[in-house]
Amino acid sequence: MMDGAPFFLAHTKKETSYHHFIISSKMHKKLPFSLTVFFAVFCTIASGAYGRDSDGCLTCHQYPGLVRIEKGDRLKVLHIDEEKYAQSDHRSLACRQCHVQVNKVPHTDDTRVECNNKCHVSPKDKQMLETYDFKSLHSREQSYIRNSNDHSSCRVCHSLYPHHSNNLVRAFLNMHTGFMFCETCHINNKKFSELGYEWISSNNIEFVGEPFGSYFKPHPDQAQQGKNVISRIAVYQTSKGKKESLINTHDVSNAQLFLKVQDKMEASIRKKELDDFHKDVAKKEVSVACNGCHAAKGIMDFEKLGFDEKKADHLVNIDLKGLVDKYKTFFFPHLFPR
């Protein structure tokens, strides 16, 4: 933890790694997104980042917990730890020297790795590649949450990484699993007044790779550190001077029963039950959800949550939000030879 503040979106293990991709909010508002990417990439190269990221891939892939669900509920982990990559055998290679088919966001096209394009061209290497497990290639550079026993009714039906329909941002949405509860984003703001947000402990977290998230507490004497304990942002409402948590744990037993009998229910009854489970939450468009928090007048006050002024400004003006708001597909500009 750095500067006594929570870290996740604010910075990675090396704070400068994230700041290489940051342009001032004033400049960002004046420049088109493609030029923003150009300056971000240029700053990355000029400042000597750990890995060779001339295409700015770590603008997205630097975040722990960047995960999407594939067929068979298999996790596709997309995080790359820049420092660990810089210590790997492939540290001298730019990402797209191997991922030669990737040329746009989202990567819905062919993303296979070609290792014998220029490098592994000997007969021995080609034979080795025939049986090589490419899924393990970046495994030492990745961190994510494998399981979280948070006793929420949401988790009875929904997976740990529940977002899958929007190809552009599903991994980014799933990344939020590591630092907030479902209701923090999905609570129906119109049904509740005087909403507040604070960090609470989340126990029994099973990590793969390095533990991440925040051990931050507003009061140092309440701080907890441990491999399986992090803090996540929870939502509450204040009623008659008392805080009331809006994290739903009271429907767990009913949800478990519903799962057992739902296939035998009539469609109308099943819908009624589902509507009751979701009566306090709202499904939101991605742009609405992003701007709900990452905006000057967002629902969260990042400084009150413990971020210093500089990190709070980054969270409000985070560049990735522009990719969600402005583009359905973004093609990488060919700025540098590979």
Instruction: Give a yes or no: residue 284 inside a domain.
Output: yes
Residues 6+ apart with CB under 8 A from 259: 156, 157
Distance between CA atoms of residues 315 and 119, nearest Å: 40
Residue 118 φ then ψ, to 5°: -135, -25
Instruction: Give a yes or no: residue 264 inside a domain.
Output: yes
Instruction: Give a yes or no: residue 9 inside a domain.
Output: no
- Tell me the two tokens of residue 1: 């933890």
Q: Are 86 and 51 in contact (CB under 8 A)?
A: yes
Query: Exposed (0-12), middle (13-18) or buried (19+): which is 112, by Cβ within 10 Å?
Result: exposed
Instruction: Give a yes or no: residue 4 inside a domain.
Output: no
Instruction: Give a yes or no: residue 54 inside a domain.
Output: yes
Helices 252-261 and 267-277, axial angle in degrees (round to 10): 160
- Tell me the two tokens of residue 44: 């990355």
- Distance separating the N- and C-terminal Cα atoms of the chain: 36
CA angle 294, 167, 80 (to 5 degrees): 70
Pairing of strands 330-331, 195-202: unpaired
pLDDT tens per residue across all 338 residues of the chain = 333 333 333 333 333 333 333 334 444 444 455 445 444 444 444 444 444 677 788 888 888 999 988 877 888 899 999 889 989 888 888 888 888 888 777 776 667 788 887 888 898 988 888 888 887 889 889 999 888 877 889 999 999 999 888 777 888 889 998 888 999 999 998 888 889 999 887 767 888 888 776 654 444 445 455 555 678 899 999 988 899 999 999 999 999 999 999 999 999 999 999 999 999 998 887 777 788 889 888 999 999 988 889 989 988 988 676 666 666 666 666 554 55
- Tell me the two tokens of residue 12: 């990675």
Distance between CA atoms of residues 180 and 233, nearest Å: 4
Domain limits for position 39: 15-329
Domain count, the chain: 1
Tens digit of each residue's pLDDT (9 = 90 or more) over 34-51: 445 444 444 444 444 444
Q: Are 202 and 164 in contact (CB under 8 A)?
A: no
Instruction: Give a yes or no: residue 337 inside a domain.
Output: no
